[in-house]
Structure 1
Amino acid sequence: MAPSRIAIVTGASSGIGAATARKLAEAGYRVVLTARREDRIEALAKELNDAGHQATAYTLDVTDRAAVDEFATAFKTVAVLVNNAGGALGADPVATGDPADWRTMYETNVIGTLNVTQALLPKLVASGDGTVVVVSSTAGLGTYEGGAGYVAAKHGEHVLAETLRLEIVGQPVRVIEIAPGMVKTDEFALTRFGGDEEKAAKVYQGVAEPLTANDVADTIAWTVTRPHHVNVDLLVLRPRAQASNTKVHREL
Structure 2
Amino acid sequence: MFQTEWMEAAGHTQRPKILAVLHQERSSTGRVGQLLLEAGFVLDIRRPPLGDPLPDTLENHAGAVIFGGPMSANDPEEYIRRETDWLSVPLAEEKPFLGICLGAQMLSNHLGGKVSPHPDGLVEIGWYPLQPTEAGRTLMDWPSMVYHFHREGFELPKSATLLATGNTYANQAFRYGKNAWGVQFHAELTRAMMQRWVVRGSERFSLCGAQQGRDHLEGRMIHDAVLKAWLQRFLGIVFGAPVAA
What is the TM-score when the length of structure 2 is the normalising length?
A: 0.47
Between Structure 1 and Structure 2, the one with more strand by share is: 2
Hey, which of these two has a bigger chunk of helix by percent? 1
TM-score if structure 1 supplies the norm length?
A: 0.46
